[in-house]
Amino acid sequence: EAAIAYVTQMAPYIGKKPMVIDCCGTKRVVCRALFPLAQEHGFTYLGGHPMAGTHNSGFKYARSNLYHGAPMVLVPPVFDDIELLQRAKDLLQPAGFGKFSVTTAEAHDEMIAFTSQLAHVVSNAYIKSPTARSHRGFSAGSYKDLTRVAWLDPSMWAELFLDNRDNVLFELDSLADSLSQYRAAVENNDLAALTALLDEGRRRKEEVDGR
């Protein structure tokens, strides 16, 4: 909302030469507002999402190499303008991105619900276990990996989740369904079913990420 408000306020003063690229965590809401605004005022706008960051918030945590080698997602207003995409890549070159992906706002939000937003919900919910208060001395890499993004900016992430409500709900339902299968296997002391579920997850990880 802040990005939309800022660009709306500044739109009459941007001019025809600059390229505006937002860095918001969802794309449908911001692109829906800013594509027509850019067309109306004659400046160039692309949706953008740098796929890098830390669990810390604020400018004091900025660092010059944050985007080095990281993917950058671009959402252009049209997909057959090669010059536009090349110009965007050239302008972003100093940031050191390792790869550019070009997609639609809809496809971006669908994917980001899985790769980022669900991970933040799970991490934030996982740390609420009463056992967490006594974890010291018993936790290592898996605990740290799973809880890192529980450090989040609540206001920002709540807005992102609601901006992408339909996709977040789909991922939450998918996860809840999977968890219910694991719970049933443990509750029923079903070694075969539990082993099969774990093996399925291991094979899925190998399929999507390789070894």
pTM of whole model > 0.85?
yes
Q: Supply the pLDDT for residue 176.
A: 98
The 3-state secondary structure of 28-59 reads HHHHHHHHHHHHHHCCEEEEEEECCCCCCCCH
pLDDT band with cut points at 50, 70 and 90 for residue 66: very high
> What value does the mean pLDDT of the chain take?
94
Letter string b/e over residues 91-126, b meaning 16 or more CB atoms within 10 A of that residue's CB: ebeeeebeeeeebebeebbbebbeebbbebbbbbee
- pLDDT of residue 211 exceeding 80, the answer is no
Q: Supply the pLDDT for residue 84.
A: 95
pLDDT band with cut points at 50, 70 and 90 for residue 161: very high
Q: Supply the pLDDT for residue 73.
A: 97
pLDDT tens per residue across span 22-45: 999 999 999 999 999 999 999 999
Cα gap 162→90, rounded to integer Å: 33
pLDDT tens per residue across span 98-139: 999 999 999 999 999 999 999 999 999 999 999 988 888 788
Q: Supply the pLDDT for residue 51.
A: 93
Helices 105-112 and 165-187: crossing angle, nearest 10°? Answer: 30
Q: Supply the pLDDT for residue 141.
A: 86
Q: Can you point out the beta strands (E) in the chain?
A: 19-21, 44-50, 71-75, 99-102
Q: Supply the pLDDT for residue 58.
A: 83
Cα gap 58→43, rounded to integer Å: 29
| Plot region of 58 (φ>0 → left; ψ -120 to 50 → alpha; else → beta) | left
